[in-house]
Amino acid sequence: MTGIIVKGSFRFTKKERIAHPQDFRRIMKSGRRVSSRNFVLFMMKSENMFHRLGIVVKKEIGPATFRNRMKRLIREFFRLHKHQIRGRYDLILMVKKGCSINRYQEAEEELKGFFNI
């Protein structure tokens, strides 16, 4: 049995990334803030016709391998669930110090709570 190849809609494209420091500052200062056990979500209405995602994982969170894993898990969640998020938002997800997530299912369960998916 071969895998299903899906192009386009389930990709995490460059235009969907928040990359500029001034965008991060603006959203974190003016956006709505929601916290959970391991994450803080900053969200702000966007003029774009799509969601954008920025990820913040500070060095105090842990070693580079753990920080990179957290970023991969967040990107994967966004890639798979961005179509279920209502509205158009610029989103910044920050990982809290003391994050205890080890598997994708744990991250997915907690992140779904932010968006009522």
Q: Please state the domain extents for the chain.
A: 14-112
pTM: 0.88
Q: What is the pLDDT of residue 67?
A: 97
Helix or strand (DSSP H, E) at 32: strand 32-35
In the DSSP assignment, the letter for residue 6 is -
- Which amino acid, residue 93? L
Helix or strand (DSSP H, E) at 24: helix 21-30
| Cα 105 to chain centroid, rounded | 15
What dotted CATH number matches 14-112? 3.30.230.10
Per-residue pLDDT tens listing for the chain (117 residues) = 455 555 557 888 899 999 999 999 999 999 999 999 999 999 999 998 999 999 999 999 999 999 999 999 999 999 999 999 999 999 999 999 999 999 999 999 999 999 887
